[in-house]
């Protein structure tokens, strides 16, 4: 199962730049089709909000790849240590 977590981490890390690029390309295309201020604001907000979320998912993948999730706590006593 730990190997699945590690390779899943690689998938998350690979998806991050791809998804950011697709979002930016879609935003540019939608703004080009409808160049009004409402469209620009809407897609600007989408991009600004989604990029930190995507970077957080990249970090999740990085930690999974490095093995941070190999041992998960089984009780609350392990969290205190």
pLDDT along the chain (81 residues), means of 10: 85 92 95 94 94 93 87 76 61
Is 28 part of a structural domain of the chain? Answer: yes
Rounded Cα gap, residues 26 and 43, in angstroms: 9
Residue 63 lies in a domain: yes
Count of domains for the chain: 1
Q: Is residue 53 assigned to a domain?
A: yes
pTM: 0.73
Residue 55 falls inside a structural domain: yes
Provide the residue range defining the domain that includes 45. 24-68
Residue 67, Cα to own-chain centre: how many angstroms?
18
Tell me what pLDDT residue 80 has. Answer: 75
Q: Are 55 and 13 in contact (CB under 8 A)?
A: no
Residue 35: inside a domain: yes
Structural domain includes residue 8: no
């Amino acid at each position: 199962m730990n190997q699945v977590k590690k390779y899943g981490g690689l998938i998350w890390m690979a998806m991050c730049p791809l998804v950011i690029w697709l979002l930016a390309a879609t935003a540019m295309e939608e703004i080009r089709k409808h160049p009004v201020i409402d469209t620009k604001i809407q897609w600007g907000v989408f991009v600004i909000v989604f990029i930190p979320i995507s970077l957080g998912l990249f970090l999740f993948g990085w930690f999974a790849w490095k093995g941070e999730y190999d041992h998960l706590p089984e009780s609350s006593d392990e969290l205190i240590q």
